[in-house]
Amino acid sequence: MTRGTRQPPRPTAFLNARLIDPTSGYDGPGGLLVIDGEIADLGPDLGRSGLPADAIEINCNGHCLVPGLVDMRVQLREPGEEHKETIATASEAAAAGGITSMVTLPNSDPVIDQVAGVEFIARRARETKGTKVYCYGAVTRGLEGQHIVELGLLAENGALGFTDGTKAVASARVLRRAMSYASTFDLLILQHPEEPDLASGGVMNGGELATRLGLPGIPRDAEVMMIERDLHLVAMTGARYHVAHVSTADSVAAIRAAKARGLKVTCDTAPPYFILTEAEVGDYRTFAKLSPPLRGESDRAAIAQAVADGTIDAIASDHAPHDQESKRVPFAHAEFGIVGLETLLPLSLELVHQGRLPMIELIRRLSTRPADILRLPQGRLAKGAPADLLLFDPEAKAVIEVDRFRSKSKNSPFDGRPVKGHVLRTLVDGRTVYEAYA
């Protein structure tokens, strides 16, 4: 082992920061000390009684120092579609976006439905040495909706939860068995909430615009129907259930009621659903083709409200990189999804700048809650916690420019959008994985 001979990294002290930690509820001035990849000390008085003699001191100039973002839903395209994204490029993009942990969906090629797939992701993540990368396992073999995978074994090897990715588990019988089995090990089941038969063939939100454009629509009800069915299964099985990317007001209402009934249900959304509407599709803009589709204004407002009041637990990037060839085609043939790693923070900050929720609550949605749901130790500023940190300036003005994305793919409807919020530094286990040039 050469490790013992290597010089240990020097302690680093972040001083003059605005510390924000949703777990303790602290939002105020202070400093934070990192030793050996962990948070060794923190608080308003850090440094007054002295720091380790060899500590590197970093002046944060009053900027926000928060737990690094935990992105609970990304598609990394590796293995299988490395021309769109790799774990390395996604990791670089994530670091630039302040994301210190991310979880990839199992819809790669091959599908992550075996232990070898989970191990592959873990190995590639180790080699990349950037952002922490985890994965979900498929619920069903080959995402075919028929036979449940070895949930226990996959979880033992590191799968954080189970989902058929961008496809719903359509069969109530199969999902009931998956939930029932998963509850034995207290595993998390995540669902893409869309009744596939009702949504079949649809390419955008069903409504006036789809009619005008002559495009087949996906009814809003396809989402809440699937959620309500699943909630019955949750009640039957007692499983831990998470609804991915909620996009309609009715879905929010159903989840709110289920939480009030004490069901173990959580959910997330992504920035496009509280910022954009279907109007973005405009003249067949495929960059606005998402799954679930962008909805109308009343749904958008309901999603923003549900993020603010906590019904929506987490905000994920829903990163879905696609190359030009997958998007520069007639709308019906274009792939669903947009890239999101580098825009997650500034877009989410719009809720804070609009006065809809305090900064500490936004950090809870972006970091602490997803970490809780995934049962990861990060997502908090506490002694002994991993030093996964994000330093950012919430007021810095910027313009989203896709050409500057580190992600291999550039499919974003937010290109050219003025935003406020700039990542200054990202640390994973105390290592700086991204640093903005002043």
Q: How many angstroms separate the Cα of 31 from the Cα of each of 173, 347, 393?
A: 53, 27, 16
Nearest approach in angstroms of CB 319 to other proteins is 22
Q: How far apart are CA 320 and CA 337, in angstroms?
A: 5
Q: How far apart are CA 96 and CA 341, in angstroms?
A: 8
Q: Which is nearer to other proteins, 248 or 317 (CB)?
A: 248
- Report the interface residues with other proteins, using CB under 8 A: 206-208, 210-215, 217, 219, 283-284, 325, 328-334
Does the annotation place 107 within a ligand binding site? Answer: yes
Does the annotation place 192 within a ligand binding site? Answer: yes
CA atoms within 13 A on the CB side of 149: 33
Does residue 213 sit in helix, strand or coil? helix
Helices 344-353 and 297-309 sit at what angle, rounded to 10 degrees? 80
Does the annotation place 333 within a ligand binding site? Answer: no
Q: Which is nearer to other proteins, 237 or 291 (CB)?
A: 291
CA atoms within 13 A on the CB side of 251: 38
Does residue 309 sit in helix, strand or coil? helix
The residues assigned a catalytic role are: 318
Q: Which is nearer to other proteins, 168 or 334 (CB)?
A: 334
Q: Which is nearer to other proteins, 42 or 281 (CB)?
A: 281
Q: How many angstroms separate the Cα of 90 from the Cα of each of 105, 341, 430?
A: 13, 8, 20
Nearest approach in angstroms of CB 300 to other proteins is 17
Range 52-69 burial, b when 16+ CB lie within 10 A, else e: eeebeebebeebbbbbbb
Residues at the binding site for substrate are 107, 322, 336-337
